[in-house]
Structure 1
C-alpha cells in the first residue's frame, strides 16, 4: 500500500463523523450482585473493542465516595457519588440479592426521580427494579426482576407490569433478571444503535457467547417455586410431561396415572399455571425444540418428531405462532437475536 493511498484514506477516515461517546452510569447498592454488574459493564467494554473506538464510557456511582461491598465480599471504589456524578446518558441500578428493603434511601430515590425528569433512560439489574419501583418510576412500563422476587414485587407494587422475561426493554426503562441476562440485555441495547448489530455480534464473539437470548425468552422458573410443596400431584403430572416429549401422553392417561379426573387436572393447571394442560404440554415441547434448533445440528424434521409433532408443517405452524419466527428463520438469525 503506497503512502499516498494511506494518507488519503487516513484523511477520509478522520473526516468521517464519529458517534458521540455515551456515558453509562452504574449505581451500586451495598451487597450488590457482582455477576450482573460485571456482565453488563464488560459487554460495553467489548463493544468498544469490537468497534475499534470508544462508544461507551462506564462510571460507577454510589451514595457516597466510600467503598461499596458486593454480595460476594468484593469491595469496589465508586468513581462518583450521586452528588458529583457527571451528565449521564443511561443509568443502571445494580440491585441486591436477596432484596434488602431498607437499601435505597430517600436521597437515592430523589436522585433517580431527578434523572427520570431529565429523561435519562433508567435500568435495573437483578433486583434493581425494586428500587425503581420504590421511586415510582415503573408505572406504565413492563419490567422484570429475578424469578425469586417476582411475586414479592407484584405484591408490594400492584400497579406495575411485571413479566417473567429474561429482560425487558420498554421505551426508556431497561430491566433484567440478573446474572448473565444483563449481558443479553446490554448486547441488545448495543445492537439497537446505528450500525450496532455487527458491533454487538462481534462483542458476543469476544465474550465467547455462542447465543444471545432475545427479549421474548423467559426465565426458567423452577416449578417448585411456583407450587411449593402444596401440589404434589400437579408437580408429578408436569414431571411426566417433561419425561415424555417425543411420545406424548393423553390427558386421560395423565389424569389416571395421578388418580385425578380430567376435570380436576384442568382445574389444577388453570389455578396454578394459568394454562390448560394441553397448552402447558405444548410449551414444554416447543421450548425443547428451540433448544435443539439453537444448540444442535439436527434437521428440523428430526427435531419436530423428537418433540412430539406429527409433521414438520404442523411443527412450523405451532413454532411460528408461539415464538413469532419460523424454525428455519430462528436458525438463520444466527447467534444474535435483535428483536
Structure 2
C-alpha cells in the first residue's frame, strides 16, 4: 500500500544500555521494519549504538552488536533509549551529555522500559508527562518529583516518547506510524505482529486487581486498592472494614478465605515490596525508605523486612534485582 503522508525516510537511533530488555528493543524496532515492508517504501531506517561502540549485553544474556558509539546525529533523527535492569548503573556522564547535546538540536527522544529514568536524569522530562515500567514507579517518583509520571502503557508528550516496556513498545511505535503515515498502514503492521488489540496511551500498565489476585470480589478489590494507594500512611484494618460496611471479623474472614492471610499481613507485604524496590533502585537512606513505607521505627522495619526476605534492609543494598522487567 502507499504511505499516506510524507515519504521521507526517518531515522531511529536505538541506544542500548547494559542489561536492556530485549522485548522492549524488538518491540520498538520490528514495527519500523514492517512499516517499510507493508508500504513498499523505505519510510524508516535505524541504527543501533552503545556508549562505547562495543556490543551490549541484554538482561537475557544475549549480546547485540552495534554500529557505533555516541556520534552526532542528523536533526531529523529520533533517539530511542532502551534499558532494563539496574538502570541507575547505566546512567553515565557521557550518556547524559550526549542526550542533552542532541536534544538541544530539537531531536525527539524516547525511552523504553526503564528508559524514562535516563531521560529524567538528563533533565529531558522536567515538566513533561511520561511513563516507566510499573516496578520502577515508586523509585522514580521519589527521585524525579518535577516529572509528571503516569501509569499509562505509553506517553507521547510533544517530542518526548516513553513506553513502559514489553508489548507497550509495539503500541507506541504503531501509534507513531499512524500519526505519520496513517492508520491503514499502522493496522497492517499490527496485523503482521499478530497484535490484535491496538491500545491507546491512556490504558494502564498493570492487570486489574481482581485479575492479579485471581478473585472477583468487589469489596476485596476496593480494599486492596486503598491499601496500594496508602503505603506511606497505612490505614488500620478497623477503618478499612468500617469504610467497606464490614465488621473487623468479616474483613479478616474475607482475606483468609481468598488470600490465605490476614489483612494486616497482606498490607505489610505490600509495604515491604515497595521498600525493597526503593532499596534496590534508589540511593534513599534506609530510614527514609522505612518512612516512605509507613514504618516509624527503623528497628521494626528491619525486623519485618528480615521476616519476609530473610535479609536486612542494609544487606539488601548489596544485592541486585532478580526479576526482569517485561
TM-score by length of 2: 0.64
Give the structure with higher Rg (CA). Answer: 1
> Structure 1 pair 54/182, CA: closer, same or farther in 2 (3 Å)?
same
Alignment partner, residue 53 of structure 1: 41
From 115, 118, 129, the counterpart of 2:116: 129
Do the aligned partners of 2:113 and 2:164 also contact (CA within 8 Å) in 1? yes
- The equivalences for 1:61-210 within 5 A come to 61-83=49-71, 89-97=77-85, 99-193=86-180, 195-210=181-196
Is residue 87–residue 117 contact of structure 2 (8 Å, CA) maintained in 1?
Answer: no
Secondary structure, aligned partner of 1:155: helix
State the distance in 2 between where 1:44 and 1:79 align.
18
**SS of the counterpart of 1:138?**
coil
Q: What displacement does 1:196 show? A: 2.1
Distance 1:71 1:182 in 2: 17
Contact 1:223 1:235 in 2 (8 A): no
99-108 or 27-36: which moved more?
Answer: 99-108
RMSD: 3.3
Contact 2:163 2:169 in 1 (8 A): yes
Displacement of 1:18 in angstroms is: 6.7
Kindly state the Cα deviation for residue 84 of structure 1 after the two structures are TM-superposed.
Answer: 6.0
CA contact (8 A) 1:23 1:87 kept: no
Provide the C-alpha distance between the structure 2 equivalents of 1:129 and 1:183, rounded to a whole number of angstroms: 16
Counterparts of 1:17 and 1:111 in 2: how far apart (Å)?
A: 31
- Residues 48, 55 of structure 1: 8 Å contact kept: yes
Superposed displacement of residue 101, structure 1: 1.4
Shift of 1:256: 1.7
Counterpart Cα distance in 1 of 2:6 and 2:148: 38
Q: In 1, distance between residues paired with 2:203 and 2:87?
A: 27
**CA–CA distance in structure 1, aligned partners of residues 127 and 222 of structure 2:** 37
The alpha-carbon distance between structure 1 residues 107 and 206, as it changes in their structure 2 partners (threshold 3 A), is same
Which runs of at least 4 in structure 1 moved beyond 4 Å after TM superposition? 84-88, 221-224, 239-242, 251-254, 257-261
SS in 2 for 1:81: coil
Q: Map Cα deviations across residues 7-42 of structure 1 (whole Å, 9 max, x no partner).
A: xxxxxx9xx997110010100001110000001100
Cα distance, 1:157 vs structure 2: 0.7
CA distance in 1, matches of 2:62, 2:129: 32
Change (3 A) 1:17 1:26: closer
The answer on 1:41 being equivalent to 2:29 is yes
Are 2:75 and 2:105, in contact at CA under 8 Å, matched by a contact in 1? no
Question: Which structure has more RCO (C-alpha within 8 Å, separation ≥ 6)?
Answer: 2
CA apart distance, 1:241: 9.7
Q: Is the 8 A contact 1:237 1:254 kept in 2?
A: no
Report the counterpart of residue 256 of structure 1 in structure 2: 246
**How far apart are 1:139 and its partner, in Å?**
0.5
Alignment equivalent of 1:237, drawn from 190, 206, 220: 220
TM-score (ref. length: structure 1): 0.62
Please, which runs of 5 or more residues in structure 2 have no aligned partner? 226-240, 252-262, 268-326
Which residue number corresponds to residue 8 of structure 2? Answer: 20
Q: In 2 relative to 1, CA 177–199 (structure 1 residues): closer, same or farther, beyond 3 Å?
A: same
Whole-Å separation in 2 of the counterparts to 1:123 and 1:57: 16
Q: Distance in 2 between matches of 1:65 and 1:130?
A: 22
* Secondary structure in 1 matching 2:245: helix
Q: Deviations over 1:167-201 (max 9, x none)?
A: 000100000100110000100000001x4211101
